[in-house]
Amino acid sequence: MKRKSVGYFEGTDSIWLTSLIAQGRDTIPVSNGYDGHGKNVRLFNARDKVDVVIGYLHKVVTPKDWDVTTTDILHACITYDIPVLLAVPGKLHGKAKKLLEKAAEHVHLVAPSEMLETIKEVLG
């Protein structure tokens, strides 16, 4: 059986990543296209798609004066229906959804304390 894989943006909680590995999941570094952390998430294709992408909100929200939007960064995840879980404190979910604009309907905001459980639910 294929191991489920979790793409993670730079700065993702190391305890989450260690727990995922210990549970038999693969972890794959991914980049927002600007930090050079791993494979650029914008370049995912059907062959190398991961099962879920995790990270923090600030890794995908761009300044208003940039030519690249959050939807641009997450385009491949949206196209290939890859779930994106972003850690945001629960009381800030409303504000975070506004920052995500069009991408909001494709992103799941998760309280940091619930991230591991949410990943488990998404991966099955």
pLDDT tens figures, 63-72? 989 999 999 9
**Continuous segment of H or E residues that includes residue 77:** helix 75-79
Q: What is the pTM of this model?
A: 0.95
What is the rounded CA–CA span in Å between residue 124 and residue 119? 8
What is the rounded CA–CA span in Å between residue 43 and residue 99? 23
The model's pLDDT over 50-107, given as tens digits with 9 standing for 90+, comes to: 999 999 999 999 998 999 999 999 999 999 999 999 999 999 999 999 999 999 999 9
Report which of 20, 105, 109 is spatially closest to residue 56, judged by C-alpha positions.
Answer: 109
Is-contact 80 46, C-beta < 8 A? yes
Assess whether pLDDT exceeds 80 at residue 4.
Answer: yes
Assess whether pLDDT exceeds 70 at residue 1.
Answer: no
Domain around 44: 5-123
Counted domains in the chain: 1
Exposure of 80 in the CB half-sphere (CA atoms within 13 A): 18
- CATH code of the domain containing 108: 3.40.50
